[in-house]
Amino acid sequence: MVDELKFSKILIGTLGSISAIGSSLGAIIFGSFLRGVNFKRLLIFSILIGGMGTFFSLIYLLDFVKNNQPLAIGLSIFDRIIFGALG
């Protein structure tokens, strides 16, 4: 990420912290709301959202994202929260 998107090491560390917060939120949401949901449905939903998120991550390879650092930072924060919440 440092070479392609020109992110600093501090920003990458901050994104790791955001990912940890997303993981905590995912655990809270699961414990509060999704305990009664069928595990098979939850697993399928998580796989689908994770697959779409991985496909969405390919947008970082586009030139307009590489040249627009605020957009790349916003996308990276969103990506970290979603993947963190999915665990």
Please answer whether residues 57 and 82 qualify as being in contact, where contact means their C-beta atoms are separated by less than 8 angstroms. no
Q: How far is it, in rounded angstroms, from Cα 11 to Cα 21?
A: 15
pLDDT of residue 26: 79
Q: Which distant-in-sequence residues (6+ apart) come within 8 Å of 22 by Cβ? A: 80, 81, 82, 83, 84, 85
pLDDT along the chain (87 residues), means of 10: 71 83 82 80 83 76 76 78 69
Domain boundaries, the chain: 10-86
pLDDT of residue 3: 64
Measured on CA atoms in the order 32, 33, 39, 44, is the torsion positive or negative? negative
Burial class (CB in 10 A: 0-12, 13-18, 19+), 64: exposed
Burial class (CB in 10 A: 0-12, 13-18, 19+), 76: buried
pLDDT of residue 2: 52
pLDDT of residue 65: 73
